[in-house]
Amino acid sequence: MHTNAFYVYLVTNRRNGTLYIGVTSNLAQRIWQHKTKAIRGFTARYGCDRLVYYEAYDGAEAAITREKRMKEWRRAWKIALIERDNPNWNDLYPTIAN
């Protein structure tokens, strides 16, 4: 994990399930919030708590721009991005948790 980094991330409820794209400056904390449903909303409603992909950026502006672009992508492109680095859709949270 980078200090002072911003992250674009994808969470899901299961392989090929519902996808959510977000951006945060504290990836481990944010995914924990998804897992515990600490914040009501889309991810809590659909059970999206499995971190399957993330990218780190040096600044908020770059991360937010990337997030907005990815949200416009076709679903197939998002799935291809996940499967390129995480073909089994493993939960990456244990690799980033402190």
Domain CATH for 69: 3.40.1440.10
Do 28 and 91 meet the contact criterion of CB atoms below 8 Å apart? no
pTM above 0.85, yes or no: yes
Measured between alpha carbons, how far is 34 from 38 in angstroms, rounded to an integer?
7
Q: Can you tell me the mean pLDDT for 82-90?
A: 97
Banded pLDDT at 98 (limits 50, 70, 90): low
Q: Domain range for residue 24?
A: 6-96
Do 32 and 74 meet the contact criterion of CB atoms below 8 Å apart? no
Specify the pLDDT at position 3: 61
The residue type found at 33 is Q
Whether pLDDT at 83 is above 90: yes
Residue 1 lies in a domain: no
- Kindly report, residue by residue over 21-78, the tens digit of the pLDDT: 999 999 999 999 999 999 899 999 999 999 999 999 999 999 999 999 999 999 999 9
DSSP 18: -
Domain tally, the chain:
1
